Amino acid sequence: MTLRLPRKLVVKIRILAAAFSALALVVVSAAPAEAQQRRLQFIRDAEIEHIIRTYAGPIFEASGINGDSVEIALVKDSSLNAFVAGGMNLFIHTGLLQESENPDELIGVIAHEIGHIAGGHLIRTQEAMEGASAQAILSALLGIGAALATGEAGAGAAILGGGQEMARRSYLAYSRAQESTADQAALGYMDQAGVSARGLLNFLEKLAGQDLRPTDRQDAFVRTHPLTQDRIESVRYHVEHSRVSDRKAPAEFVEMHARMKAKLMGFIQPQIALHRYRDSDTEVAPRYGRAIALYQRGDIRQALPLIDQLIKEEPDNPFFHELKGQVLLENSRVAESIAPYRKAVELLPDSALLRSSLAHALVETNDDSLLDEALKHLKAAAAKEPRTPFTWRLIATVYGRENQQGMLSYALAEEAMARGDRAVARFHAEKAENQLPAGSPGWIRAQDIRTATERLPTR
């Protein structure tokens, strides 16, 4: 089902199936090129990204990888898959999140992918992006800076857009040797972190035997990660001998997992969510999913009371406040959205997505007395996620309304740089240099942008 996203910023990233080496163990379809074309769609959601980072935290620590340096990209795709590309970029399909039965399964897959990152593995699959680098994809992903209909960052699903040219790079395929290496690394990380590997074993067993199926009938994870019985047996042996195999995931992880799945269903499959989650449900996850589904179906009269009840029960949950802010903003109740967005940021100030959501709402009020507050949050968001074009576009809007022409040009240069548009970035950077006082922070950064664009190779 296509996401209902009125008023959203949409960018389409087109990808084309490519021919791979034998290591990929992938057969490219002989269908016409038009039939092989796909659109890679992403979502951004502060809560889901927070959950994944919470799950991954102990694994990052065990691996010696700085988790803050790893970009997490959520791909809106119903297939079971996850992969790394461009070195420190982890892509997870929403289908994997929705089909994982418990936190341990998802943590096992995350640990496996961290094993690929630690091993410096790259990937090229049948769905690999033609003429795209992970950097460009992530620039597009972060460039939406927004969720759902309004383009603001935060709860839900923002389909990411295309339009920018991508660096002409291709991905290597995972080999069977790389898969085994990533498995062994993951098992070591999970043992060190005190996490049972049963989840990884359960996940691999679900996929067992798919190597024998035609490629178009295999789960995406099998197509991108060659699966062998030897791998499964190796993981099973580890589970049988590990001291932590019977350790259960913390109860809070189980609840987070249930809420994440309910949230995704509410946003992506609202009709199914309304059928599954009933008025009579008393647990938080089903009510959360139902509230989101109602809002997605346009019934905010029923959705808002459910959200208010969730907030009453958990007043310190930033994501419930964020959801209320989003519902109000998207339904033209801009002034009312400010308070819940402010509360969300107060509760989770490190979230760039929440800060940009609040800033967007502040800008949308058209109240110039709120511009300083908006700019404060936008600067904090840009410091956390500097490659987010949407944030820089909002910053430019603020500077434009304040008639700060030099800083407007600088912000537009940053936006273009984040989008990978070298010519536009240089144009605005040169304008900023001419407009800003020499030696000022904006002037220095504009000079850096101009210099950087001159060093970039011609496409």
The enclosing domain of 145 has a CATH number of 3.30.2010.10
In this predicted structure, the answer to whether residue 136 has a pLDDT above a threshold of 60 is no
In this predicted structure, the answer to whether residue 456 has a pLDDT above a threshold of 80 is no
Predicted pLDDT of residue 142: 41
Domain span at 228: 13-241
How far apart (Å, rounded) are the C-alpha atoms in residues 78 and 38? 13
Residue partners of 57: CB distance under 8 A and separation at least 6? 67
Q: Quick check: is 96 in a domain? A: yes
pLDDT in tens, 329-387: 999 999 999 999 999 999 999 999 999 999 999 999 999 999 999 999 999 999 999 98
More confident residue, 26 or 448: 448
- Cα dihedral: 434, 440, 446, 451 (round 10): 100
Predicted pLDDT of residue 210: 57
In this predicted structure, the answer to whether residue 238 has a pLDDT above a threshold of 70 is yes
Residue 65: Cβ-neighbour burial (10 angstroms; 0-12, 13-18, 19+): middle
- Tell me how many degrees the CA angle 46-345-337 measures, rounded to the nearest 5: 90
Mean pLDDT of all residues in 256-273: 97
In this predicted structure, the answer to whether residue 7 has a pLDDT above a threshold of 70 is no
Q: Quick check: is 368 in a domain? A: no
Predicted pLDDT of residue 174: 61
Look at strands 89-93 and 13-15 and give their pairing. Answer: unpaired
- The answer to pTM > 0.85 is no
Residue partners of 32: CB distance under 8 A and separation at least 6? none
pLDDT in tens, 382-416: 999 998 899 999 999 999 999 999 999 999 999 99
Q: 46, 89, 82: which is closest to 67 by C-alpha?
A: 89
The count of structural domains within the chain is 1
pLDDT in tens, 54-66: 999 999 999 999 9
Predicted pLDDT of residue 87: 72
How far apart (Å, rounded) are the C-alpha atoms in residues 122 and 179? 11
> Residue 325 carries which side chain, given as an amino acid letter?
G
CB 227 within 8 A of CB 85: no
Q: Quick check: is 78 in a domain? A: yes
Specify the range with the lowest mean pLDDT, choosing from 122-126, 148-152, 324-328: 148-152
Q: Quick check: is 392 in a domain? A: no
Predicted pLDDT of residue 134: 44
Q: Quick check: is 29 in a domain? A: yes
How far apart (Å, rounded) are the C-alpha atoms in residues 292 and 273? 9
